[in-house]
Structure 1
Amino acid sequence: MTAILAAPLRAARRRMDWPLLSAVTALSLIGLLLVWSATRPRLLAAGEDPQTYVKRQLANVLVGLAVLTAVALADHGTLRAWTPPAYVASCLGLAAVLTPLGKTVNGSRSWIGVGPLDVQPSELAKVALVLGLATLLGDRPGGERAPRGAQVALALAATAAPLGLIMLQPDLGTAVIMVVTAFGMLVVAGVRWRWLALLVAAGAAAAASAWFLGLLRPHQVQRLLTFADPMADPQGAGYNAVQALVTVGSGGLGGHGLFRGDQTGGRFVPEQHTDFVFTVAGEELGFAGAALVLLLLWWVLWRALGIASRAVTPYGTLAAAGIVCWFAAQTFVNVGMTIGLAPVVGVPLPFVSYGGSSVVACMAAAGVLISVHRQTARRL
């Protein structure tokens, strides 16, 4: 029996994308150190275990790696079979957030309390949306080069459902990531440009209407105004943006050293272990450490692009391309928040920020990439 199982396991190991997996693991380990440094001063001041958050994040990473492995070993048929229930479950989770089960944090009702755990369904919905759109747009009967109009309509409807629920929370950052991801997948699927132009025009009209009709929440308006001029209210609405920029810039080339950042130690930057974890890298590891984080994220994106280009099915190409759009947009927004290139909308840095939902979702996405890679390697 052992000999019978050994051959498939060896074949599976050979077809794993080890460079991608190594980058994901390295980012997770760096994230553990940054989360530890960001949370240690507050816990010490409160007389609590300074390793509380890093222990939780380690558990998140281990669970995420288990999910990554399970997804990576699944073939396309299995992933497609699980996509509808995953999509429905994610929408039900997003709807449950709006009930008394939901919790409001920083003006957004995005979490569900499950015992001692807080689950953020919008993070898991990103994976379900990518797989759902890959299924809808990747089905090409008769060898057609582009999806049919009915397929595009279904894809837009499938995007609108979770997107609408997320906007009701409201979570502008996650909504932006989802819109970019869905639009990128439509482009890769080969949707005609005139339809894409109409979508862009409709999106611009919706954004303008939301602004001029006062549909945005006050804290969302403040964040957008602060992005235009953070120094207009440096002790109020612009505080996060100003302190993040100061913290990143204070590290110089080599940084002050782990656990030695004055800004981090003084807890000047709010949410530094989640949305602003990149500021810890900038201050304590300096330009070199921050560049290493970005280089590893770039390597993940580069491997994912290669997987998308070599995939043997439209489903595989679209799934990998959707993950590229998701990770690229989220990285740009998260890092952009800390250096003044994007408004503060609250999105985590993939694989690095603290949070079980984010870590598990990103690991599952990496598992999808490896699954597509394995499927391609099997055909070669």
Structure 2
Amino acid sequence: MAAGAARRLDWVLIVSVAVLCAIGSLLVWSATLPGDGGDPMDSTGHLRRHLAHLAVAWVACLVVASVDFRTVRAYAPIVYVATAVALVLVLTPLGAVINGSRGWIVVGAFQFQPSELAKVGLVLVLATLLGEPRDGESRPMTRDVLFCLLVLAVPLALVMLQPDLGTTLVLGAIFLGMLTLSGAPFVWVAGMLACGVAAVFCVFWFDLLEPYQLDRLATLVDPSADPQGAGYNSNQALIAVGSGGFNGTGLFQGEQTHGRFVPEQHTDFIFTVAGEELGFAGAALVIALFAVVLWRILRIALGCDQPYPRLLCVGVAAWFGFQTFINIGMGLGVMPVTGLPLPFVSYGGTAIMANMLGLGLVLGINSRDRGFE
């Protein structure tokens, strides 16, 4: 990256994400320490893999940030098609079922989750379609929105077949956020919201949810309904967060965390580790850092002269903001369990890479002239 472009990077955004990554690494380490009788030699196994994922992802982020806008825009269809093909491969014998969802491609020791990178592909293509009105038009028109709906439908349908409700919701949030701020006719925005309400009604009316999904929704309304079954995760998460008090029990000192009472605590429920071991103060710091990240991304969007880079930032902000809200809401018992990791904090390979690619797109916009042709 050129020295001039590096100076124009948003260092407040970079430092905020770096601090989230550092906190996440400590929380992953604590959540994966072996319990009683565990192998002490494996006490840093997850941490080392997590740090390796972060290192590769940071490099990818800086590479993307150094790429010219027009190059990124030109490769958007290729990225979209590649992720769509990967989502199809998930449904073949190459796909593997992990935690009840057929969302992974596993070849030997290599594991890859295409639905995470589908978020990047969708943001890129929607920014191109909604951010480049035809000659003589100043905003997307009906035909543009219809084409965007078709573009959304492909990854949405493939992710639903896995099934992966969490990622389905994130893709929908990305589309709605970008459509709302693209200047498209308001009737389409209102129509999308109405369709969403109608879809929820139809899901319940025609009994389209799996039994375990209905159980999760039931325990959201009444967490005590099935404390040893569907409500177990939410109840244990609340106990872990509540036991931290204001200052927390101390890093590596959480009884709920090291007793393995909360499942998937290093991924989906990583926020409960922060709540227990870092307390209200530490959990509030994590939330504040995410607020700073979203503020800086939207600030960059407001400074863009052209719709394409502005919508790129809006798409990434909608992605990070919605996913953060759902994940933290799961830990606090106010949102249903959907299996979404906390961006930049949770353990993962493909998810971390996707998050960093999204960050790189935003940083690249801020480091260059935003009024490009």
- What's the TM-score, normalizing by structure 1? 0.95
Structure 1 residue corresponding to 2:330, chosen from 326, 337, 346: 337
1:55 equivalent to 2:45? Answer: no
Letter in 2 for 1:316: P
Q: What residue is the counterpart of 1:3 in the other structure?
A: none
Structure 2 residue corresponding to 1:238, chosen from 231, 238, 244: 231
Letter in 2 for 1:185: M
**CA–CA distance in 1 between the matches of 2:367 and 2:152?**
28
Q: What residue is the counterpart of 2:243 in the other structure?
A: 250
Identity of paired residues, percent?
Answer: 51
What root-mean-square deviation, in Å, do the aligned CA atoms of Structure 1 and Structure 2 show?
1.5
Q: What residue is the counterpart of 1:366 in the other structure?
A: 359
1:135 equivalent to 2:118? Answer: no
Letter in 1 for 2:15: S
Q: What residue is the counterpart of 2:260 in the other structure?
A: 267
Q: What residue is the counterpart of 1:352 in the other structure?
A: 345
Structure 1 residue corresponding to 2:75, chosen from 71, 82, 86: 82
* Deviation at residue 117 of structure 1 after TM alignment: 2.6
Letter in 2 for 1:103: A
Closer/same/farther in 2, CA of residues 374 and 286 from structure 1, 3 Å limit? same
* Deviation at residue 46 of structure 1 after TM alignment: 4.5
Closer/same/farther in 2, CA of residues 39 and 84 from structure 1, 3 Å limit? same
1:283 equivalent to 2:276? Answer: yes
* Deviation at residue 114 of structure 1 after TM alignment: 3.0
Q: What residue is the counterpart of 2:8 in the other structure?
A: 15
The CA deviation string for residues 23-45 of structure 1, in whole angstroms up to 9 with x for no partner, is 11111111110000000134962
1:101 equivalent to 2:86? Answer: no
1:316 equivalent to 2:309? Answer: yes
Q: What residue is the counterpart of 1:174 in the other structure?
A: 167
Q: What residue is the counterpart of 1:199 in the other structure?
A: 192
Structure 2 residue corresponding to 1:153, chosen from 132, 135, 146: 146
Kept after mapping to 1: 8 A contact 2:305/2:370: no
1:219 equivalent to 2:212? Answer: yes
**CA–CA distance in 2 between the matches of 1:143 and 1:343?**
45
- What's the TM-score, normalizing by structure 2? 0.96
Kept after mapping to 2: 8 A contact 1:41/1:267: no
**How many pairs align?**
372
* Deviation at residue 141 of structure 1 after TM alignment: 3.1
**CA–CA distance in 2 between the matches of 1:173 and 1:47?**
34
**CA–CA distance in 2 between the matches of 1:28 and 1:127?**
20
> Equivalent residue of 1:87, what SS?
helix
**CA–CA distance in 2 between the matches of 1:365 and 1:308?**
14
Q: What residue is the counterpart of 1:39 in the other structure?
A: 32
* Deviation at residue 377 of structure 1 after TM alignment: 6.3
Letter in 1 for 2:239: V
Closer/same/farther in 2, CA of residues 57 and 347 from structure 1, 3 Å limit? same
Kept after mapping to 2: 8 A contact 1:27/1:352: yes
Letter in 1 for 2:12: P
**CA–CA distance in 1 between the matches of 2:139 and 2:108?**
46
> Equivalent residue of 1:230, what SS?
coil
The CA deviation string for residues 174-225 of structure 1, in whole angstroms up to 9 with x for no partner, is 1111111100100010111212222222222222222221222222121111
Kept after mapping to 2: 8 A contact 1:119/1:357: yes
Q: Could you list the runs of 4 or more consecutive aligned residues of structure 1 that deviate by over 6 angstroms after TM superposition? A: none
> Equivalent residue of 1:139, what SS?
coil
Show structure 1 runs of 5+ residues with no match. Answer: 1-7
* Deviation at residue 302 of structure 1 after TM alignment: 0.3
Letter in 2 for 1:95: V
Closer/same/farther in 2, CA of residues 276 and 251 from structure 1, 3 Å limit? same
Letter in 2 for 1:125: A
The CA deviation string for residues 112-142 of structure 1, in whole angstroms up to 9 with x for no partner, is 1133132111111001101110011111233
> Equivalent residue of 1:20, what SS?
helix
Structure 2 residue corresponding to 1:296, chosen from 289, 309, 313: 289
Which one has the bigger helix percentage? 1
Structure 2 counterparts to residues 103-118 of structure 1, below 5 A: 103-118=96-111
**CA–CA distance in 2 between the matches of 1:234 and 1:183?**
35
**CA–CA distance in 1 between the matches of 2:215 and 2:51?**
35
**CA–CA distance in 1 between the matches of 2:155 and 2:199?**
17
**CA–CA distance in 2 between the matches of 1:43 and 1:212?**
48
Q: For structure 1, which segment, 194-203 or 170-179, has the greater mean C-alpha deviation from structure 2 after superposition? A: 194-203
Closer/same/farther in 2, CA of residues 336 and 145 from structure 1, 3 Å limit? same
